[in-house]
Amino acid sequence: MRTIDEKQIKKIKEFIFKNGRLLERRLVSFFFEKGNKDDVIKALVAYQNLDGGFGNGIEPDLLCPDSTAIGAETAMYILDLLGYVNNEITDHLFNWIIKEQNEEGYINHPPKNLYNYPFQEWWSNPDDLRIFALSGFLKKWGLKDATFFEKVKYFYSNSSLPKEFTFYEYPYFIYLKYLGKNKEKKRCNNKLSTNSQVFLKRIRNIIHYLVDIGIMLSILWIKK
């Protein structure tokens, strides 16, 4: 298994501090320089809207200010890394997710202001699977809302699993880890090809060393 040495970490830091947002810089400081967790939270909260959701470009490929499910997941990933849950930030976020969940169990996408701001073309597509990742985090964090989880379960039960999983279907696995029953996990595992199993193993190894997507891009830059 490849690891990152001190020289590479220094290059990563230099790249992120030259090119990254304040949020990425604060994350690097926290994880590699004994930085302050509160400084990361302050940078993160800048992306939270009054409705409790997250937008404003927290997902760098989607710059509209509207709250979105991918914005919520990005924020939850960082909060989970920091162990910063069950507070005012997450309470407002919980309320937004529950309010935005439709009767089919997922959150509608794209947001209404998508086309008024820069975005990558794939974000004009539906993002229904995102609810699986959100529900996994919420279950892990101890949210007790039976109606919310029943709607997600209904959506999962009526979803058609892909013939072969790619990286972008990872929300299924977050859902199954925290909410799946044995028969549901078996249903999902039976769909995994040998190639997918190898792919997932590689992803797990990589994630162990990555703080956020900025560091992953930095590693690619180092190899040039």
Instruction: Please list, in sequence order, all residues whose beta carbon lies within 8 angstroms of the beta carbon of residue 159, skipping any fewer than 6 positions away.
Output: 129
* Ranges of residues in the chain whose predicted pLDDT is under 70: 1-2, 182-224
Tens digit of each residue's pLDDT (9 = 90 or more) over 139-157: 999 999 999 999 999 999 9
Contact 22, 43 (CB under 8 A): yes
pTM score: 0.82
Phi, psi of 27 (to 5 degrees): -65, -45
Query: What per-residue confidence (pLDDT) applies to 219?
Result: 41
**How far is it, in rounded angstroms, from Cα 169 to Cα 45?**
27
Among all chains, which residue has been given the structure tokens 């985090």?
A: 137
Quick one: which of 46, 73, 45 has its CA closest to 59? 73
Query: What per-residue confidence (pLDDT) applies to 215?
Result: 46
Query: What per-residue confidence (pLDDT) applies to 187?
Result: 57
Parse the chain into domains and list their residue ranges.
47-221
Tens digit of each residue's pLDDT (9 = 90 or more) over 166-202: 888 899 989 999 998 765 555 555 555 444 454 455 4
